[in-house]
Structure 1
Amino acid sequence: MALKLHTRTTLLASAITIAVLGAFVWLSSRELERLLGEEQRARVKLHAVTLADQIARLPNEQTALNRLLALSKNARPGAIGVRVWERAGKSYGVTAAVVDDDLPPPDPEAIAKSLRTPSVANLPTSRPLKPGGEEAYWVCVPIKRPGRPEGAVEYVERFDAAPDVVARYRTLALWLALGCVATITLSMNWLFRRTVYRPIERLLNAMHRVQSGDLSATVDIRATDELGRLAAGYNQMLGQVQAMTDERERQRQLLEERIAEATAELSERNAQLAQLNRELWELTRRLTDMERLAAAGQTAAQLAHEVGTPLNLISGHVQLLSADLGDNAKAQNRLETIAAQIERIERIVRAMLDRTRADVSEHELLDLSAVLRRTFDVVQPALDARNIHLVTNIGNTALPIRGAMDRLQQVFINLFNNAVDAMPQGGQLMVDVTCWETGGSGEQFVIEVSDTGTGMPEDVRARVFEPFFTTKPRGSGTGLGLVVARQIIREHGGEMTVVSQPGRGTTIRLTLPSAVEQPA
């Protein structure tokens, strides 16, 4: 878990404070011990010197000397013992003493050595009371009394309570360090919250608003310190980002407008190209159909020419034979049969020519409903024979068109025959006529011929207007019926389309333009 900034700063400041205070306390306690020791040594020396002066002025009375030593020992709480030495010959001996039990026994050699060394005399030295035991200050001060033997005062005093003072000083320093750490913690917390966290929080809130899309989220600058300069830099950067965003948005809108214009223009060009492709495909298909029809017509005309001459000769010889035979009834019957078959061949050839050559008949004003009713009368017997029910919706009003009666009947009869072939088990044939508005070009009539037959798959439906394409059994269809029918409808200014699905029957839709004048 990452520590916060003020926590890390507080820990670092506290560690530095504790280290500095520890070093200060250690050095100051060592210096305090030294100063206390020096002061105690000075007091010990002063006390011993004062006592030596007082002893030098006392009369030579043992009782007064003992009282003075007792008063001198009791005047210092740490005093262990006081001895008064006098020289007897070459050695020193104790003449009076007031000592505690733990004071070591007298050492005349140490007294003599001390008195013989001027640099050591009158200087307190620390010595252990016992080996490895408590330390004490020891001092030997000479006693100078005119007219008396040379003497000395030996004064021993325990170390003062310097360790206790130092220990209390260290305890106080510890509490002071804890107080400093607490003060530093509270101060750092208050300082960071006021001068660091609040500006940073305002900056983070502004950044969150910018992340959500609000580029106007600037920071209120309340100070001129580092965080204030940071906020000012952030505001400046945000202003640049806002300007760049506005410029980018403007460029994006301009680019979108240009793309929209280019897309619209491209769509229009694509639509024009698609229309041209459709027109080209339709024109190509029509040219192909016309080529096929022309080839079929040329073939039929050649066939009719080639067959017509022999048929005429045969017909002439048949007539001559009929005149020569006279009353031979049996032969006459055979010649009549031959003549009938020749006429039948002529009708077949003529029908083939009629299918492939354009009709030059003139269009006249007709009533479309009357043409359809006349066609219904013609095909009704065939429908009844195949158990097909005819349903019509053509109305009772006149439907004026301009066209050729025979040609239009040829179209409708062809469509009805195809519907009958598509319903070998019977069904329903529906003929519906409606009038559509076509805008500026006037009205047009829509004739829909629908059956409930087997329908056609898509691949067959796409080829129904190809010359010589048929799905009927061999010998029962030429593949030119719908081709000729559509050609006739187009000659009348209309169009023919086929809608079919397998199992749902077939609907053939014809459109014919309406005539302005009404038929009689």
Structure 2
Amino acid sequence: MIPWQHPWKLQAKASLFIILIVGGAILVTELLHQYYVAELAKDVIHSKSLVLLRQIGARFQSEKQFHNGTLREKYLNDLMSRNPDLIFLRVYAKGANPGEPPRLLTQAGATENESSEIPLLVIHTFQFEEPQGRFHNQPGDDRLKLATPLAIQGQTIGVIYAEYWTGQLTTITRFFLTWSLIISVIMGFGIVLALNFFLYRHVIRPLGRLKAGLADVEKGQWATLVPIGKTDEIGDLARQFNSMAQQIQEVMRENASLNQELGQARDVLQTRVEEATSELRQRNEELAAVNERLSIAQRDILRQQRLAVLGQLVATIAHKIGTPLTAIFGHLQLLQEDPHLSPEVLERVRTMLKQTDRLTHSIQDLLTFTRTPTISVEQVSLPQLIDQSLLLFRPLLQEHGIQGHTHFAPDLWSVQGDAFHLQEAVNNIIDNAIDAMPDGGQLTMQARNAEDTAETGPEVILDIH
């Protein structure tokens, strides 16, 4: 959880803290004061009222006087005339039989708007035989309700019930408490101002000087000193700050001297490192050149060894294959001269002669592998070369259900190249096509002339699909 921080300054925080403390103290004191005054006033009123009621009770010397209605009314009216705060008075007697409620005997005062029900205080007074009282505080209707037992010869024969108006005393009490609150607020405000002035003069202003000094030191002004005007803790803090600033200044001078010496040592070391690096770079280049020459020599030796082994192997294979191949080639030549051969068979014999000659060339290439191969560049007819390849692969194409088709432009140019290698390329393409169509299909080979440009010259485009 991130702690809440308000951007107030120290003086504002201290002022708020002082206001809260002083305000809280004033509030608590005033509440206690109001409670004490109110309770004291209630006690005074309650005591005086009980004294008055007991004075009435003291006038009844016998039970006969108590049951004299004229005498009761006289006593009540006399008490009402001498106490303007009395609202009304009532005298209750016990019920005629046990368990019956008290009976109202006499009443005096403004009872027109009052309830005729027996107050609960009267019942409690008969029950406990002790005075009962309760304040009734409502806006515009502040009164004290009292009930005191009337005893003759130690026996309670009745209860005197009275209600007093306490509005005037309540108004005076409230006025007194209001002015007391105002005076407390003024005193609290003065205390807050005095504490704030003391705090500003003895804490905030010296701390502000220290803060300004710290800001100057942070900017690099190491010679900054704070004036010392007090001998208290703030003054000690200022002296320690000045001592710290002087020590920092000395350390910075020492650091500057050390940095200068380190700079010089770094320059010398850098020069030596550059010299050593240059020498090491030169040695590395020489070593790389030697490694390169060694690598080339090793490759040449390995190549010569491989070529020597391969030459022996190829010579053996060529010798084993060359003799029967020469015999086959001779018999095919003799067969070609037979006048009884049909044109189709003669064409097949010629194809076999060419392929035998091609095989002979392949053997020759193997024999000359160690030498640069010889390429014979000549004018080659692309349609004738493709037809020969299709004729060679016709049995295979028929076996796989593949139909071969050719389409050549009438004015198709001849191409420059090695006929043997071109034949090899076309044969490889047809062989790959047979592998790609195991379920049969069509193999179409088309050739057309491309545009003759100055950059590429005349070209022939061969499409196979």
TM over 0.5: no
Q: Report the TM range for the smaller structure's normalisation.
A: 0.3 to 0.5
TM-score scaled to structure 1, two decimals?
A: 0.40
TM-score scaled to structure 2, two decimals?
A: 0.44
Q: Point out the structure with max Rg over C-alpha.
A: 1
